[in-house]
Structure 1
């Protein structure tokens, strides 16, 4: 079997994704520009959406689940009075209404979308139905029964009302949220239909869109040391986990996949944490009786 070509480079590159580009295309662009062997992203953005897309390289891909599980925030505009088959502006209008809710009615309706809610993903989404992506079946004209999924919504607030047809919102939510579903369901709750007109992810876990690099800059700096310097260490992806320091002896055991001694910190028995030596991640695991039992081990150059 042929080995993957590319550099063993690890870290995070935070991209401010432009509209009209898929998340997979962004990852492929970053992998090419950094000549990296391995890359992935922490949470898909729709092609027409913009904002933070965190691209993990090398060993940082092992921290992707901790970023995708973290809270993230979206700024979006809902077009009232129209429902589309894709729940965004790219789709075909399938229902319309002349009704337009007041600002107070919108604010009141938002309350039902905060907390632990049930959400049905859009017909045009990447969820799998009988082993096939929903959007592929939707493109063939099929209408599917998609099961509702739980979603934690930390906050959903109205931030503007440019005109009677549009409302601007910001949402902070957990893993697996579809902003298009929020727009669709809000429109139905208000009795006027609705779909997403514009969507931007402003932050995701520890990463913010305003710190992201644009595609044009990635092209301009491709295959140069300057682009390498834009990388954040893989440890940033572990920001939501407690850190425990370990001794060189403990680190050696952890690197071999065995439990290793760590210096007790602000964690309890059974908590998930990550172990570091000289500030560099050694492993993620479960803390038990003074040891970390590893579930993920990082292959990084040994300091000193």
Structure 2
């Protein structure tokens, strides 16, 4: 493998990646790690393989900012399919037939101990109006709500991921947790005012799923707190409407101040790669490919790394986009880097910045002073120049 150029500046920063469908967030991190030839790379907030959109990737010392970014509010655009349920609450799961299985503990569609019949669901879909959907959203899915995550989520139960336990056929019981839905807007739908037989689609996610009944699709935009599962929103909206539901498309368009439309965003695509594993089996899997120069010239490593660095959001700007910030003097920067307090009072974690140098994240120490909770080494002039491209 080609080695990193010894002349390349040792930089840290944030990249906003537009994650493609079909790969994991870890696959994108691996692509950035390979392009920059750096080990210290991480991301803020996992996206499912089915999902696309904003994935914040930090490298170098910027990985220390990821814990602050991950808690930011997020905006998603999605398609919710009403009339069908799946095992995973999204299009990657198997469609569940109506009327043949007992309702689970959280199944709000069930008035008794059984799931509604396919005929009942079809009748409810035909009677459904856009006003019905928007009224239910306003009543049940705005503000602070309690949400039970999908059993196929990445939440850990006694050290194991919920989706691993679910795939092993084990019972997974997750506790409801509070989340905040700031906005939940229906952008478009298959319901032309009042649904009728002609407006209810007979298509389906899978080719063999026609037997599982008709459906209606809603295009929605959701702005929510960190920790909200859009799959669970789709599932629960379908439940309270009495028709079931799941997610067929998900795109994250914003994380905090980082937006997918910004000029610095790095796009990516997927390519299938076939290889032989240690057991001698031929395996094909998707790989994330960053859309930066990747020719076969001898300088390909430096070219790709340089091209990617032109999209980097430097440390001071990334901090300003993530946290409140405090401008400090060079003397105060020295004090913070020695672990000492400075005579400023902050109400919450705040980025302390001296010129174009992110010095520390500070927090309140007492009524007169703040203390460093995270300290960053002084950036070299070369690194600052390389990673100071503004976000627009």
TM-score, normalised on structure 1?
Answer: 0.90
Deviates more, 1:218-227 or 1:270-279: 218-227
CA distance in 2, matches of 1:303, 1:84: 54
CA distance in 1, matches of 2:58, 2:308: 14
**Would the aligned equivalents of 1:12 and 1:231 in 2 still touch at CA under 8 Å?**
yes
- Which residue matches 1:300? 378
- Which residue matches 2:228? 177
- Which residue matches 2:358? 281
- Which residue matches 1:235? 316
Instruction: Using the TM superposition, give the Cα deviation of residue 52 of structure 1 relative to its aligned residue in structure 2, in angstroms.
Output: 0.6
**What residue ranges of structure 2 are gaps of 5+ in the alignment?**
99-120, 192-199, 201-215, 270-288, 295-300, 383-392
CA distance in 2, matches of 1:249, 1:95: 68
Instruction: Using the TM superposition, give the Cα deviation of residue 152 of structure 1 relative to its aligned residue in structure 2, in angstroms.
Output: 1.1
The partner residue of 1:213 within 245, 252, 266 is 266
For the pair shown, the structure with the greater C-alpha radius of gyration is 2
CA spacing shift, 1:200–1:215, aligned 2, 3 Å: same
- Which residue matches 2:137? 110
SS of corresponding position for 1:220: coil
CA distance in 1, matches of 2:378, 2:36: 18
The partner residue of 1:119 within 118, 124, 147 is 147
**Would the aligned equivalents of 2:43 and 2:56 in 1 still touch at CA under 8 Å?**
yes
CA distance in 1, matches of 2:176, 2:50: 24
Describe the superposition over 1:36-95 as per-residue Cα deviations: whole angstroms up to 9, x where unpaired: 231111110010100011111111111112211111100000111011110001111124
TM-score, normalised on structure 2?
Answer: 0.71
Pairing 1:192–2:243 present: yes
**What residue ranges of structure 1 are gaps of 5+ in the alignment?**
263-267
**Which contiguous aligned blocks of 4+ residues in structure 1 show a shift greater than 6 angstroms?**
none
* Greater share of residues in strand: 1
CA spacing shift, 1:90–1:126, aligned 2, 3 Å: same
CA distance in 2, matches of 1:126, 1:253: 41
CA distance in 2, matches of 1:198, 1:271: 36
CA distance in 2, matches of 1:26, 1:242: 29
- Which residue matches 1:226? 307
CA distance in 2, matches of 1:194, 1:64: 33
The partner residue of 1:158 within 177, 186, 199 is 186
Instruction: Using the TM superposition, give the Cα deviation of residue 251 of structure 1 relative to its aligned residue in structure 2, in angstroms.
Output: 0.5
- Which residue matches 2:90? 88
SS of corresponding position for 2:290: helix
**Would the aligned equivalents of 2:346 and 2:370 in 1 still touch at CA under 8 Å?**
no
Aligned length: 295
- Which residue matches 1:60? 62
CA distance in 1, matches of 2:322, 2:307: 28
For residues 11-50 of structure 1, the aligned pairs below 5 Å read: 11-50=13-52
CA spacing shift, 1:22–1:131, aligned 2, 3 Å: same
SS of corresponding position for 1:210: coil
Instruction: Using the TM superposition, give the Cα deviation of residue 298 of structure 1 relative to its aligned residue in structure 2, in angstroms.
Output: 1.1
Q: Say what the alpha-carbon RMSD is for the aligned residues.
A: 2.1
CA spacing shift, 1:115–1:172, aligned 2, 3 Å: same
